[in-house]
Amino acid sequence: MSYKIGEIAKLTNLTTRTIRYYEGLGLLGTRRNRTRGQSRLFDNDDIKRLKKIQMLKDLGLTLEEIGQVIDLYFADGQLLEGKRQVIEILKKHIASAEEKIRELNTFKMESEASISKIESIIKRAEIKKKSEQ
């Protein structure tokens, strides 16, 4: 079955702009199914690809990372390889997140120490001001 871009947008809950963007990035495969007016017709495979792209985005992959693995999901016998590559990408995301967590914890501890020092300075200044009155 063939669909125009507006129809496929409704079926996938994506905007036509997003679909064109994905197509421009090459995430929808080759530019086939063009009519004379250069209007692309989409098919059920495009719907599957768009849904897979959304699923991979929901997992936290960037569009660049999705571009590295999307074809593996649609090539015969490559499904497991695609999943393995997604696992490796997600492991890198986890390592990056853990590093950010360490950095944020360090920032938090340093901020708490600074707050404590500033509060002590304020308290001493208030005590001094009261004793001078």
Q: What is the 3-state secondary structure (H, E, C) of the chain?
A: CCECHHHHHHHHCCCHHHHHHHHHHCCCCCCCCECCCCCECECHHHHHHHHHHHHHHHCCCCHHHHHHHHHHHHCCCCHHHHHHHHHHHHHHHHHHHHHHHHHHHHHHHHHHHHHHHHHHHHHHHHHHHHHHC
How big is the CA angle at 101 (ends 95 and 104), to the nearest 5 degrees? 145
Average pLDDT, the chain: 88
Residues 6 or more apart in contact with residue 105 via CB below 8 angstroms: none
Q: Which domain holds residue 124?
A: 5-132
Mean pLDDT of the 36-60 span: 86
Q: For position 16, which CATH number holds? A: 1.10.1660.10
Mean pLDDT of the 92-97 span: 90
Q: Which amino acid is residue 38, in one-letter code?
A: Q
pLDDT at 72: 82
pLDDT at 34 over 60: no
Mean pLDDT of the 67-81 span: 79
Backbone angles phi, psi at 62, to 5 degrees: -80, 165
Mean pLDDT of the 23-37 span: 72
Could you give the dihedral angle defined by the CA atoms of residues 21, 24, 27 and 33, in that order, rounded to the nearest 10 degrees? 110
Q: Encode pLDDT of 98-117 as tens digits.
A: 999 999 999 999 999 999 99
Question: pLDDT band for position 82 (50/70/90)?
Answer: confident
pLDDT at 130: 87
Q: How many domains does the chain have?
A: 1
